Amino acid sequence: MIKTNNCILNLQLFAEEKTEKATPKRRREAREKGQVIRSVEINSAAIILVSFYVMKVFSDFIIHNLKDIYISALALDIPLDSVYTYSGLQNGLIKLILKVLLAILPIISSCFIVGLVINYVQVGFLFTAEPLKPDLNRINPLQGFKRIFSKRAIYELIKSLLKLAIIIGIVYNTFEESLKSMPLLLNMQLNSGFAYICNQIFQMAIRCGFALLAMSVFDYFYQWWDYEKSLRMTKQEIKEEFKQTEGDPQVKGRIRELQRQMAMNRMMQEIPNADVIIVNPTHYAIALVYDPDKNDAPFVVAKGKDYIALKIKEKAAEHHIAIVENRSLAQALYNTTEIGQVIPPELYHAVAEVLAYVYSLKKEI
């Protein structure tokens, strides 16, 4: 804020808005920092659905292993002498943990695989330690206060409340549907009653999973929108990035100008060695050298158009190099031959006539 005699100016009003899409470099840097499009709700919904389906498919395996643990515990399958020693107690505890892990292994492994697959589909392969680096802004009370009341925090709060309401609604509906059948449990055997309760829990979990999955689709699009918005750039930022990657246009222009001047100077230094300058009076000038020891045909040491052609002719006049006017030949040489290249075969005859004329003039002199 700036105070003047009559008013107060808010400098943020003059800040350039971020209206431009992020450049590939900006996206690459954000990804390296761990900023990617990712919806946690998709992971949660997928894990709930897969874990309960796996429990249903492997229910016999899980129940059999849990039954073995229960029977072993009731039968006191562990020698009593070993219970009173540290090593014996440790071995017994390890065996118990291994049996429990074996019983729930299908659930753990399936959830682990689904979590990896879902993350890979959303993010791809990414390993970065950037989010683990200490950041003082994370313990800054002012920044923390801003995060609490930010748009993202409000969105996450609304999402959590909506998710809680959906789960409570599904649980209530499922319980209300099952309430009528509850008295029948009194006449059921233990196995049948347990299977009925498990089936109701399974139906309730699947409904919750699909509801969260539908909600996660909306959440993913929000995360995408928020991600794109956070990466937006101002026009000035794009210009600065272009300068960093491609170089300052003014500096590059100056470098190109210096390169042209150096090339021009080198070309002008070769003109005194030329045998002839073939010109179109006002537009083209081509300097040729014929050295049988170096090349079988004449080659171009300098060429130019308009202003450069004028400079070539002035340099040639200073060193008394023959200047021959031939409009069609000058234009053909300029269009077909670069500096340092020999002339094309189709121009041999025309150039040979010019060189013969120049050599005859030198002999007369």
Give me the domains of the chain, ranges plus CATH numbers.
31-127+138-232 (no CATH), 270-364 (3.40.1690.10)
DSSP assignment letter at 43:
H
Residue 131's pLDDT is 58
What strands lie across the sheet with 276-280, from one edge to the other?
A: 299-305, 284-289, 276-280, 323-325
Residue 145's pLDDT is 61
Smallest Cα–Cα separation from 302: which of 345, 350, 334? Answer: 334
Residue 1's pLDDT is 46
Q: The pTM is what?
A: 0.53
The first and second tokens of residue 120, run together, are 């890979």
What φ, ψ does residue 275 adopt, rounded to 5°?
Answer: -90, -30
Residue 13's pLDDT is 43
Cα distance between residue 240 and residue 345, in whole Å: 51
The secondary element (H helix, E strand) that includes residue 301 is strand 299-305
Cα distance between residue 287 and residue 264, in whole Å: 13
| Contact assessment for residue 45 and residue 208, using Cβ atoms and an 8 Å cutoff | no
Q: What is the pLDDT along the chain (365 residues), one digit of tens a residue?
A: 444 444 444 444 444 677 778 777 888 877 777 778 888 888 888 898 998 888 888 888 888 887 777 776 666 555 555 555 667 667 777 877 888 888 888 888 988 998 888 888 887 777 666 656 666 565 666 665 666 667 778 888 888 899 899 889 988 888 887 777 777 767 777 777 777 788 888 888 888 889 988 988 888 888 888 888 888 888 787 777 777 666 566 767 777 778 778 877 888 888 888 888 888 877 888 888 888 877 778 888 888 888 888 888 888 888 888 888 888 888 888 888 888 888 888 888 888 888 888 888 777 65
Cα distance between residue 236 and residue 242, in whole Å: 10
Cα of 70 vs its chain's centroid, Å: 53
Helical segments of the chain, H only: 24-32, 40-57, 59-74, 80-83, 86-123, 141-148, 151-179, 190-231, 235-246, 249-270, 307-318, 327-336, 348-364
| Contact assessment for residue 346 and residue 305, using Cβ atoms and an 8 Å cutoff | no
Residue 311's pLDDT is 86
Token pair 């073939």: residue: 278
